[in-house]
Each structure stands twice: as C-alpha cells, then as structure tokens.
C-alpha cells in the first residue's frame, strides 16, 4: 500500500463531512431570505450587515464575549495555583488528583448542568440549607441568572485550564527558583521573575483554549441560563432550527467562527509581546 | 502553614469540579418523584424507571451504535494517516495535518449546522435521507473524533524506537512481517488511547448532533437535554448516573494504558 493511498480514508472523511458542508454553508450565507419561500438564491452581503444593524444580536455577542472573558480570567486565577501544586507535589495522591480533574470533563456538560440544577433551584440544596440556617427567609433566585451560567461554565473549562498549565509547569526546572533564592530573591520575587515568565506560554495556550470553549458553549447557557439568557451558539441554533432563516444563520455561524479566531489571534499576539517584554 | 493553605485551596477547587457529579449521583437515589432536600428516603426505583423509559433507552442504544462505529472507522483511518504523517516527508504534509485536525478548531455547533444543511441538500438532490437513520450521525461523529485518533496514534509513533524495526529488517523479516509483528504491537498504546478517547468524546457530544437527530435516532445527551429543559427529577439523575459509571469504567481502563494527563 502506498503512502498516498493510506491518506485517502482520513482525508476523504474530512473533505466529505467538513470541507464540502462548510463551503455550502458559506455559499448559503450570501443567499437572501424570504418568509414565504425561505431561502432565495442571491449574492448579497445583507446577512452580514444585518448582524451589525440589529441591537439584539450585538447584545448577544457582547454577552458572549463578556461571559467568556470573565470565565477565562476566573479559571486562570483558580487554575494556576492548582496546576502549580500538581506540577510540584511529590504526593502519592498526585495521579488520583489528576483523575479527579479529568473525570468531570469526560462526564459531559449536560450531566454537570443537571448537577448544578439540583444545587441552584428554588428548592435546590443551597436554598434549602440557607433557609434551614435562617440566613434567608425566601429562596434566592440562582437558576437562569448570569451567576448560574458563570459557575456552570467555569466548572466546564477549569479542568482544561488546569491540565494545560500543569503540562507547561511540569517542564520548568524548579531548581531555578532555588538559584534565585540563593542569590537573595524572596520566594515571591523568585516566582514572579522566574517561574511566571517561564509559564507564560502555558497561560496563553490555556486561556485561548478555554476562551474558545466559552465562546462556543451551547448546553450550559441553555440549561442554566434559560430562554432569556442569550449567547451566540444557542442564538445560532435558533436561527437554523426555529426561525428557519438559513442564510442569516449561516452568516452568524461564520461571524462566530471569525470572532473566535480573531480573539485567539489578538490574545496570542498580546502574549507574544508580553513574553518579549519579559525576556528583555 | 503555607502548605496547609495550598492543599486546602487545591482541595476546594477540585471539590468544586466534582460537586455537580456528586449531587447528580446522590439525587438518583432519592425516594421522591421530585427534587426535595433532605430526601424522605432512598431507593433504586429510578434506575428501573429510567431503563423502562423508551426515550432514554433508545438514546443509550443509538449512542452506543454511533459511537462504536464512528470510533472504529476513525481509529483505522486515523492510524493509516498518522503513519504517513509521522514517517514520510512530502510537500503539503503540514497543511494535510492541519486539515485532519481542523474539526478541533471549528465550533461544534457550526460543524453541526454545516452537516445539517449538507444532508438536506443530499436529500433534495439524491433523495437519500441521512438524518432519518443513524448514518448521518455516524458520518458526523467519525469526523468529530478523527483528529483525536490522528493525534494520539501520531504521538505514540513519534516516541517509538525505530531501531527495533531496523533490527527485524536486518534479520531478514519482510516489510509486512515487520509491520504486523513489530510496529503494530508497539502502536498498541496509542491505538487503545485513541479508541477509548474517541469513544468518550463522541459519547458525550451534544452540539454536533443537535440538528442531525430524528425521532428514534436521538443520542443520549440530546435525550437528556430535552428532558432537562422541562424537568429536573431523580429519573434524569439515574440516567446520568449510569452514564457516569460507563465513563468512569472507560477512564480507569484508559489510565492503565496511557497517562491521561498526556493526552487531554
């Protein structure tokens, strides 16, 4: 069997199930929409300009970007110390701790959203406990709020952040901190001037990865945010499934993909400059 | 002192991660038809109830069929591609590698929408309805997990010591014999990791499948999602618990073959 023949099945699958469908979707995004005929063959940019003229969709995009940024930042602040601990510990529980990090990731977003529902509901665990302790008189509304979406998404992305950071931190030679401390640096300075710059590539990769995951989140915002909380992926799904406006839905799909790629590019440029500044 | 603060912080974060999983398992045993804390008692009743529910049962079976076929196809085609990508130098190798990994970069919901309109276009022009059977789901999931197979088997091949194959060649083994008696056994770790990881990624996927399911051909996560939009009760908790057990078993098997922290 020749090498090129061995490439055929895999390449064929991607061409058939990804490249061709994506090209058709791109073509559809230039079509026009008519409420009676649905999609009309055309070549127009109306669907793209509509996105920038409708305050609703701008709001959805702003919500998506805000939630994604907040979650990324929070996951970095919570994840870094955990990753640092996992990378430096000599505990015999290390592999157990890593399994504990990976396991929720593999259980799936829907199941975890269901778990948060049992905690956040009006008759959920948190409200029952708070009322029993007489801290509150009536249940607090936690489901279908920005808070529940934030917590749910943070729980989804945190394992990715921890594992990425841990991978990078593990490759760092920690005897460097000892050298810095021997030369008179305080532990904090040694961390800030030696370990932090060396782990910056991990911070960049982890942040970009989890940001993309947040931008494209579907099940968590739908289940924990409810119908009134709109993010891009659910809005996109609605355009195709409920509104049956394929051209506009197709345009939204490419806007979301582009926004994700653009945000990724900007942040990787930022990190590269920061890395250079730190090296200088 | 700092050590104590550090370990309690780590424990708190990890507890936060497993908290929803623990709660869903706990609720599955509540002896009450709706969610109430504290539970009036405990029962196994909801597992039987969940097993009788045709939507969840069909969802589970559909998921297993789709996942098994998609994983098998992707591991075979991914292994062949990985061998070529790792061992041969040719123009466009990087581009081809990027193409095979591209399902990881494009939002799953966008991939799902693109496939949906593609399948409808096929139904309109060729009168073959891929959505009304499991075929559409299998095509979609094969594409979804292929990058994992290429990546994991490729990583395994990169780390492989080629001097063993050379030794076999020098001792007079034919190229076919070398492949089946030396290379393939050495690839086992990567193949097992690829198969199990494909299985898990495909089994829990929701976004890609959302539009390409039809009545009777719905995956388990979608059945759960549709149920959860209206109810949160011990039945769905029992269904989720079964799913958690399946994943946990697979995770333990995978961990015996490869260090999980290396592949995620």
pLDDT digits (tens, 9 = 90+) for B61-108: 899 999 999 999 999 999 999 989 988 888 888 888 888 888 887 888
Beta-bridge partner residues of A38: A34
Task: Identify the pLDDT of residue A278.
Answer: 67
**Nearest alpha-carbon partner for A86 in A202, A256, A223:** A202
* Cβ-defined contact of A260 to B73 (cutoff 8 Å): no
| Residue-level pLDDT at A12 | 92
For residues A129 and A131, what is the distance between their CA atoms, to the nearest angstrom? 5
Q: Which of B17, B90, B240 sits opposite A111 (nearest CB)?
A: B240
User: What pLDDT was estimated at residue A220?
Assistant: 92
- Answer for the pair A10, B99: CB distance below 8 angstroms, yes or no: no
Picking from A18, A25, A121, the nearest residue to B113 by CB comes out as: A25
A105 CB within 8 Å of a chain B CB = yes
Residue contact B113–A236, C-beta within 8 A:
yes
With 0-12 CB in 10 A as exposed, 13-18 as middle and 19+ as buried, what is A184? Answer: exposed
| Tens digits of residue pLDDT in A185-230 | 787 888 888 888 888 878 888 888 888 889 888 989 999 998 888 8
Give every CB contact of residue B146 below 8 A, 6+ residues apart in sequence.
Answer: A10, A13, A14, B74, B77, B78, B100, B103
Per-residue pLDDT, B262: 53
Among A56-60, A264-268, B17-21, B164-168, which is the least confidently predicted range? A264-268
CA B200 from chain centre, in angstroms, equals 3
**Tokens read off for B159:** 């780390």
- pLDDT single digits (tens) B148-175: 899 888 888 887 778 888 888 888 888 8
- pLDDT of B263 higher than 60: no
User: According to the model, what pLDDT value does residue B232 have?
Assistant: 80
- Superfamily of domain B54-262 in CATH is MetI-like (1.10.3720.10)
Radius of gyration of chain B, Cα coordinates, nearest whole angstrom: 22
B257: contact with A, CB 8 A cutoff: no
Distance between first and last Cα of chain B: 33
Give yes or no for a contact between B194 and B164, defined as CB atoms under 8 angstroms apart. Answer: no
Contact A107 B244 (CB under 8 A): yes
Which contiguous run of DSSP H or E holds residue A266?
Answer: helix A246-279
Q: What is the per-residue pLDDT for A178? A: 79
Mean pLDDT, residues A119-142 taken together? 86
Please give the class, per CATH, of domain A46-106+145-279.
Answer: mainly alpha
The pLDDT assigned to B264 comes to 44
| Domain residue ranges of chain B, discontinuous segments joined by + | 54-262
Q: Does A136 touch chain B (CB under 8 A)?
A: no
Share of chain B above pLDDT 70, in %: 97
Q: Check CB contact of A249 with chain B, cutoff 8 Å.
A: yes
């Amino acid at each position: 069997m020749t090498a090129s023949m061995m490439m055929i099945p895999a390449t064929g699958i991607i061409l058939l199930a990804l490249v061709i469908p994506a090209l058709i979707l791109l073509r559809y995004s230039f079509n026009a929409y008519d409420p009676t005929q649905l999609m009309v063959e055309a070549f127009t940019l109306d669907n793209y300009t509509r996105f920038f003229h409708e305050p609703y969709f701008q709001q959805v995009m702003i919500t998506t970007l805000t939630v994604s940024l907040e979650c990324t930042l929070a996951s970095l602040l919570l994840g870094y110390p955990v990753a640092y601990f996992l990378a430096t510990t000599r505990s015999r529980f290390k592999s157990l701790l890593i399994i504990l990090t990976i396991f929720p990731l593999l259980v799936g977003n829907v199941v975890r959203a269901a778990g948060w529902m049992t905690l956040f509901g009006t008759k959920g665990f948190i409200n029952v406990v708070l009322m029993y302790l007489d801290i509150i008189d009536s249940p607090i509304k936690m489901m279908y709020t920005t808070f529940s979406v934030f917590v749910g998404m943070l729980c989804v992305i945190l394992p990715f952040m921890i594992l990425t950071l841990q991978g990078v931190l593990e490759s760092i030679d920690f005897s460097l901190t000892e050298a810095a401390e021997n030369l008179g640096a305080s532990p904090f300075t040694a961390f800030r001037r030696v370990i932090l710059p060396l782990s910056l590539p991990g911070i960049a990769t982890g942040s970009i990865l989890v940001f993309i995951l947040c931008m494209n989140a579907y099940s968590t915002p739908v289940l924990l945010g409810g119908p009134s909380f709109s993010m891009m992926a659910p809005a996109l799904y609605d355009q195709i499934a409920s509104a049956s406006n394929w051209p506009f839905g197709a345009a939204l799909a490419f806007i979301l993909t582009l926004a994700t790629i653009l945000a990724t590019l900007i942040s990787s440029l930022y990190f590269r400059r920061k890395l250079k500044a730190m090296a200088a | 002192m700092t050590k104590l603060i550090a370990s309690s912080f780590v424990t708190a974060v990890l507890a936060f991660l497993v908290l929803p999983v623990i709660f869903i398992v706990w609720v599955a045993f509540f002896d009450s038809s709706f969610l109430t804390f504290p539970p009036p008692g405990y029962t196994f009743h909801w597992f039987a109830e969940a097993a009788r529910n045709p939507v969840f049962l069909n969802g589970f079976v559909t998921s297993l069929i789709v996942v098994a076929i998609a994983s098998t196809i992707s591991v075979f085609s991914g292994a062949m591609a990985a061998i070529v990508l790792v061992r041969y130098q040719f123009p466009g190798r990087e581009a081809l590698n990027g193409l095979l990994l591209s399902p990881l970069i494009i939002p799953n919901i966008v991939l799902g929408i693109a496939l949906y309109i593609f399948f409808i276009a096929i139904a309109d022009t060729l009168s073959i309805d891929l959505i009304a059977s499991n075929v559409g789901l299998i095509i979609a999931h094969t594409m979804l997990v292929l990058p994992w197979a290429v990546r994991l088997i490729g990583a395994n091949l990169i780390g492989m010591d080629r001097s063993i194959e050379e030794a076999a060649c020098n001792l007079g083994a034919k190229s076919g014999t070398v492949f089946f008696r030396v290379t393939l056994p050495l690839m086992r770790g990567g193949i097992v990791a690829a198969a199990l990881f494909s299985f898990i990624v495909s089994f829990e996927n929701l976004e890609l499948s959302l539009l390409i399911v039809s009545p009777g051909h719905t995956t388990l996560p979608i059945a759960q999602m549709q149920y959860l939009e209206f109810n949160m009760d011990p039945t769905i908790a029992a269904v989720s618990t079964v799913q958690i057990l399946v994943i946990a078993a697979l995770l333990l098997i995978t961990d015996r073959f490869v260090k999980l922290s290396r592949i995620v």
